[in-house]
């Protein structure tokens, strides 16, 4: 146990992001450089966030990491890549330091504890928030002020987009060293206040094939993926940016659905094929299209990552009606009162004409629960020492 107080302890939080133009495929596995640019929406941390505490002390004899209270293998290559990269940046900064030398923190070992405020088992993208939080917290504890895209990216590609709030693009870059493969905010979280996000949790099962392995297989075998990266995504990035800047929901929604569908098409074009959507995912897709057809307008959009959960975008005035349609199509079991979590949604009954237009036999329990949220800010530093996940001895505090 540590006898001295740690030299520095910092606690930060970071958000989950959901891509509307998907990243799928690397041109460099080691540096985590993508074959196309991508664009995402940062979700609000009131509903989904990772909290991370990092502490450095002369007394620590090795780097150690705890995730949701359990000690992890610090030797994992991605963790090591993040640690090495942040220490490289810290060393660089110290070498160019022209005032007093900062404390010799670089020679110290670090302890890191990290927690999610949402069930990891729900299959929601936790690695993006996790690695963004790790990069951001380590940067604070080691006094690094440079761009953190590379640190987060080395953990998980999509994590670099969680370094900012609002609407964020990850520019693929051209350089072999990846220095120009960086995340950048397209618009802040205040830009589109009416935009709402519903996460339809379909399955808590662990996915069959992780993103890293899945995209490797796609890069090797899918001609459609190559076509997508070279000939489709560049124009879509520009169009999506325009839709966001102009708050053009119809355009945003249509392109979001098309890009999700094309990503899943490249999975099917992979050989052997990969399939992340379940029959419930497909029912959600039909529900959204019928809902939109009934309104004669694109009121709701879906997007799916490497798993069966749906993320729905809609505007505030449509949220209650769409939730009613989901409840009708996927009647909750005994959890009726906890079916909807997060933001308050006005209770609405499903209009008879809409029910008829949906023409769907209910699938009880198909959607386990819904998290209602909105666009949110980027990583935050927590000032209150009470929030530290590590105690003065540098070990995780017992869970409250
Ligand atoms: C389908 O960022 O998890 O969610 O870089 O190998 O860690 P690695 O992959 P990861 O892939 C995310 C893929 C996606 C689309 C996206 O978020 O853009």
**Residue of 38, 305, 307, 311 to test ligand 1 pocket, by largest number of atoms within 8 Å of CB:** 305
With a 6 Å cutoff on the Cβ, whether 38 touches ligand 1 is: yes
Q: Running DSSP on this structure, what letter comes out for residue 335?
A: T
Q: Residue 36's pLDDT is what?
A: 98
Measured in angstroms, how far is the CA atom of residue 102 from the centroid of ligand 1? Answer: 36
Q: Which pairs from 348-357 meet CB under 8 Å and 24+ separation? A: 348/320, 348/321, 348/323, 348/324, 349/324, 350/321, 350/324, 350/325, 351/321, 353/294, 354/291, 354/294, 354/321, 354/325, 355/328, 357/290, 357/291, 357/293, 357/294
State the helix-helix crossing angle for 127-142 and 77-95, rounded to 10 degrees: 30
Nearest residue (by CA) to ligand 1, atom 5, is 157
Distance from first CA to last CA of the chain, Å, rounded? 21
374 lines ligand 1 (CB under 6 A): no
Question: Ligand 1 centroid to 24 CA: how many Å?
Answer: 6
- Contacts with 271 (C-beta within 8 Å, 6 or more apart), sequence order: 217, 221, 222
Does residue 277 line the site of ligand 1, with CB under 6 A? Answer: no
pLDDT for 203: 72
CA 203 to ligand 1 center in whole angstroms:
19
State whether the beta carbon of 141 lies less than 6 angstroms from ligand 1. Answer: no
Question: What is the sign, positive or negative, of the torsion defined by CA atoms of 66, 70, 71, 74?
Answer: negative
Task: Tell me, using a 6 A CB cutoff, whether residue 156 lines ligand 1.
Answer: yes
Residue 7's pLDDT is 77
The crossing angle, in degrees rounded to 10, of helices 249-269 and 211-221 is: 70
Q: Is 260 in the pocket of ligand 1 (CB under 6 A)?
A: no
Q: What is the residue with the minimal CA distance to atom 4 of ligand 1? A: 305
Q: Ligand 1 pocket test: which of 17, 155, 157 has the largest number of ligand atoms within 8 Å of its C-beta?
A: 157
Q: Closest ligand 1 atom, CA of 159? A: 2
Q: Return phi, psi of residue 300, to 5°.
A: -140, 145
Residue 106: per-residue pLDDT: 80
Tens-digit pLDDT string for the chain (400 aa): 445 677 799 999 999 999 999 999 999 999 999 999 999 999 999 999 999 999 999 999 999 999 999 999 999 999 999 999 999 999 888 777 655 445 567 888 999 999 998 876 556 767 999 999 999 999 999 999 999 999 999 999 999 999 999 999 999 999 999 999 999 999 999 999 999 999 999 975 666 788 999 999 999 999 999 999 999 999 999 999 999 999 999 999 999 999 999 999 999 999 999 999 999 999 999 999 999 999 999 999 999 999 999 999 999 999 999 999 999 999 998 887 899 999 999 999 999 999 999 998 999 999 999 999 999 999 999 989 999 999 999 999 987 5
pTM for this entry: 0.95
Atom of ligand 1 nearest to the CA of 22: 18
Burial status of residue 240 (CB atoms within 10 A of its CB: 0-12, 13-18, 19 or more): buried
Is the peptide bond between 44 and the residue preceding it cis, with omega within 30 degrees of 0?
Answer: no
Q: How close is the Cα of 13 to the center of ligand 1, in Å?
A: 20
| Atom of ligand 1 at shortest range from CA of 212 | 6
């Amino acid at each position: 146990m540590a006898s001295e107080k740690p030299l520095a302890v910092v606690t930060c939080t970071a958000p989950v992001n959901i891509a509307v133009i998907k990243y799928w495929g690397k041109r460099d596995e080691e540096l985590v450089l993508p074959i196309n640019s991508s664009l995402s929406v940062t979700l609000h941390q009131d509903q989904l966030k990772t909290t991370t505490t990092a502490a450095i002390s002369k007394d620590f004899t090795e780097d150690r990491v705890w995730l949701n209270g359990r000690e992890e293998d610090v030797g994992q290559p991605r963790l090591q890549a993040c640690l090495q990269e942040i220490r490289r940046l810290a060393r660089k900064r110290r070498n160019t330091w022209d005032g007093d030398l900062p404390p010799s923190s670089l020679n110290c070992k670090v302890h890191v504890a990290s927690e999610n405020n949402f069930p990891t088992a729900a299959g929601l993208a936790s690695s993006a928030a996790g690695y963004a939080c790790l990069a951001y917290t380590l940067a604070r504890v080691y006094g690094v002020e440079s761009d953190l895209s590379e640190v987060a990216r080395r953990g998980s590609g999509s994590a670099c987009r969680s370094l900012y709030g609002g609407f964020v693009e990850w520019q693929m870059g051209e350089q072999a060293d990846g220095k120009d493969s960086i995340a950048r905010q397209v618009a802040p979280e205040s830009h589109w206040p009416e935009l709402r996000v519903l996460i339809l949790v379909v399955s808590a099962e662990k996915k069959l094939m992780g993103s890293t392995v899945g995209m490797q297989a796609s890069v090797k075998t899918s001609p459609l993926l190559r076509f997508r990266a070279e000939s489709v995504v560049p124009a879509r990035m520009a169009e999506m940016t325009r839709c966001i800047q102009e708050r053009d929901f119809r355009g945003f929604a249509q392109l979001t659905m098309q890009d999700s569908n094309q990503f899943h098409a490249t999975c099917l074009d992979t050989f052997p094929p990969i399939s992340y959507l379940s029959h419930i995912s497909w029912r959600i897709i039909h529900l959204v299209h019928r809902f939109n057809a009934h309104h004669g307008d694109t009121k709701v959009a879906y997007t799916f990552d490497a798993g069966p959960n749906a993320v729905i975008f809609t505007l505030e005035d449509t949220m209650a009606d769409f939730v009613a349609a989901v409840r009708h199509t996927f009647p909750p079991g005994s959890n009726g009162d906890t079916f909807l979590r997060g933001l308050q949604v006005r209770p609405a009954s499903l209009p008879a004409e809409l029910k008829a237009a949906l023409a769907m036999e209910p699938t009880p329990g198909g959607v386990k629960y819904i998290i209602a949220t909105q666009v949110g800010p980027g990583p935050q530093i927590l000032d209150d020492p009470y929030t530290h996940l590590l105690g003065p001895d540098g070990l995780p505090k017992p869970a409250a």
